Amino acid sequence: MKLNIKYTGKILLVALVVLGTGCKKFLEEKDPSNLTPETYYTIPEHGEAAIAAAYAQTRFIGNGAGIFVANFSMLEMVTGTARTETGQNSDLNNLLGLSFNGENLLVRNWWAGLYNVIAQTNLVIEKVPAINPMDATRKAQILGEARFLRAWAYFYLVRLYGDVPLITTPQTATSPDFYPTRTGTELVYKQITDDLTAAEEAGLPWQDASGRVSKGAVKSLLSKVYLTMAGQPLNKGAAYYKLAADKSLEVMTSSGYGLFPSYADLHSLSQENKGEHIFQIQYLATVSGNPMQQLLLPNFKNVSAYSDEMGSTVPTTKFYQSFEAGDLRAKDREGFFYTSYYTGGNGELKALNAPYIFKHFDVVANGTLGTAGTTQSDLNWPQIRFAEVLLTYAEAQNRADGTPNIAAYEALNKIRRRALIPELSGLSQTAFEEAVWRERWHELCYEGITWFDMVRLRKVYNESTNGFDNFVGHAFAESPSTVLAEKHLLFPLPSVEIKNNPNLRPQNLGY
């Protein structure tokens, strides 16, 4: 099932902004259809529309960022595991070459997109409690969903930009903190954990096949947050590794979640919002279709029903070749990659002479042998998978206890068994930790996770040595002149934001 976010949310946002001041009525008659902040949020349907608008805002990740690019590409281009086959977008190329600054459109779009999520969730959290009459259980759930989405947005922001403005109430031009200063990273993380622990108690179901936030999603995100807090830059250590392990174990031992038996299920419409998929960004072609398909296709090699095949974000050959021998994830059209596909999407099979991302490939939209594609993609975009929960537990338990236990080995080996590669045993703490890191690089690739692992670990996977380099000084395998520096641990604040609000100064180090 899908969370069918219709246009109600957009109508809500426009109504509150455009009609917020009201207007003079003919003969002073009060028009009951005129929406204002005072007359909205009065019936349960308003609360449902408001949270739907918040979910809709999360789709900024797939929005355009200039010619042939969407925002999701930013997190892949800076990892060294992705490249582009189109040279037209200078912002994308600057990310790929680590020469970006605060003028970069993708850097700006991530900032704006995340704060749009926060603005809408702040409205929900402030206004929905006053709606009466309203079912108390559903009201609590909506507030829990809003707190999760706000935490989700701030978790991205604090990892991308460091100290950021912490805004938890709706803003107007007359708000005393309309030009906010930046809040320290530790306080931002406190808000994130406060929101998530409140969402845990909001009465959400453990799973939700409609695509709404579930208790499993809340606990999974909280485990990610604790794992990040244990590492850099907060470096809270063993106590927070223990928190991450405990929270991920709650998800692992709950019913309903598990690894799909086939990698094809990861991009199957019938498996969305269930099983391995704990939280996804929702797409539905009749409302808002998945716009990423063309960007991930080979550059005009005629392998799809789409006419605009862009090759905007594709794997590097070095990373593709770093998978272990026999790893099913690297097998053509069965795992995460494809090196051949059907002419026009449904015709004769042809070799492509390079790897492309199959993990997010919509077979229905692109086509398959004998069946033409629809060019209408309903495929959701992953945010949290059960595979990540397993790897979070394995890493966190090992660090918290000083040695991997049986459950940590089983979590790691579940990933490896599905990939048809040998199980591991008898490793030292350090060797086990690096084995988990390698699985994170290979299992979670192209899901917007790798960059954040690099930053929290201060380590980067080296495809040539199969080991890990220090972040600072690491050279990308296919571009040795592209070298990570200390300044790359954070992105710059968008220049336009600093111009509009001088209170955001100083800019991040090195920009």
Rounded Cα distance between 378 and 467, Å, is 38
Same domain, 366 and 416: no
* Residue 38, pLDDT score: 67
Domain, as residue range, for 317: 285-379
CA distance 145 to 218: 9
End-to-end CA, the chain: 44
pLDDT tens sequence across 475-495: 999 999 999 999 999 999 999
Q: How many Cβ atoms from other residues are within 10 Å of residue 80's Cβ? A: 27
Query: Do 303 and 236 share a structural domain?
Result: no
34/9 Cα distance (integer angstroms): 17
Q: Which residues pair with 479 in a beta bridge?
A: 476
Question: Per the structure block, which two tokens stand in for 304?
Answer: 């799809």
The band of 87, judged by pLDDT with boundaries at 50, 70 and 90, is confident
Q: Is residue 1 part of a domain?
A: no
Cis peptide before 32 (omega within 30 of 0): no
Amino acid found at 16: L
Distance of CA 465 to the CA centre of its chain: 29
d(CA 416, CA 477): 25
Closest CA to 408 of 382, 383, 421, 427: 427
Number of domains in the chain: 3
- Given a cut of 70, whether residue 106 has pLDDT beyond it is yes
Q: What is the pLDDT of residues 171-224, one digit of tens each?
A: 988 888 899 999 999 999 999 999 999 999 999 999 999 999 999 999 999 999
Residue 213 counted as domain residue: no
Q: What pTM does this model have? A: 0.93
Q: What is the pLDDT of residue 22?
A: 37
> Is residue 265 domain-shared with residue 360, that is, in the same domain?
no
pLDDT band at 37 (very low <50, low <70, confident <90, very high): low
- Mean pLDDT of all residues belonging to the chain: 93
Q: Residue 289: which of 269, 275, 263 has the closest Cα?
A: 269
Contacts by 182-188, CB closer than 8 A, 24 or more apart: 182/503, 182/504, 185/158, 185/233, 185/234, 186/234, 188/154, 188/157, 188/158, 188/163, 188/164
pLDDT above 80 for 399: yes
Q: Is the pLDDT of residue 23 over 70?
A: no
Of 47 and 38, the one with more pLDDT: 47
* DSSP letter, residue 418: H
Residue 126 sits in the same domain as residue 275: no
Residue 12 pLDDT greater than 60, yes or no: no
pLDDT single digits (tens) 211-266: 999 999 999 999 999 999 999 999 999 999 999 999 999 999 998 999 999 999 99
When pLDDT is averaged across residues 101-114 and rounded to a whole number, the result is: 98
> Where is pLDDT greater, at 501 or 2?
501
Q: How far apart are CA 290 and CA 72, in angstroms?
A: 12
Alpha-carbon distance of 162 to 143, in angstroms, equals 26
CA-atom Rg of the chain in angstroms? 23
Residue 40, pLDDT score: 87
Which tokens go with 372? 């033409």
| pLDDT-based confidence at residue 2 (cuts at 50, 70, 90) | low
Q: How many residues are present in the chain?
A: 511
Query: Among residues 280, 451, 509, 484, which one has the least CA distance to residue 378?
Result: 280
Residues 28 and 173 in one domain: yes
- Residue 508, in any domain of the structure: no
CA of 397: how far to CAs of 227, 289, 393, 414, in Å?
Answer: 10, 39, 6, 16
Question: Rounded to an integer, what distance in angstroms lies between the CA atom of residue 347 and that of residue 415?
Answer: 34
For 275, the token pair is: 């099983």
Q: Are residues 289 and 278 in the same domain?
A: no
Q: Are residues 68 and 168 in the same domain?
A: yes
Q: How confident is the model at residue 7 (pLDDT cuts 50, 70, 90)?
A: very low
Note whether 504 and 165 are within 8 A (CB).
yes
Q: Are residues 250 and 367 in the same domain?
A: no
Of the given ranges (13-27, 92-106, 184-198, 229-243), which has the lowest mean pLDDT?
13-27
pLDDT band at 346 (very low <50, low <70, confident <90, very high): very high
Longest dimension (CA), the chain: 84
- pLDDT on residue 417: 98
**CA–CA separation, 144 and 55 (whole Å):** 13
Calculate mean pLDDT across residues 413-427.
98
Residue 27 pLDDT greater than 50, yes or no: no
Residue 463 lies inside a defined structural domain of this protein: no
Residues 385 and 374 in one domain: no
Give the CATH number of the domain where residue 259 resides. Answer: 1.25.40.900
Same domain assignment for residues 117 and 191: yes
CA distance linking residue 315 with residue 355, whole number of Å: 6
> pLDDT tens-digit profile of 349-396?
999 999 999 999 999 999 999 999 999 999 999 999 999 999 999 999
Please indicate, yes or no, whether residues 75 and 188 belong to a single structural domain of this protein.
Answer: yes
Q: Residue 444: is its pLDDT beyond 70? A: yes
Instruction: Pick the closest to residue 311 from 352, 369, 280 (CA basis).
Output: 352
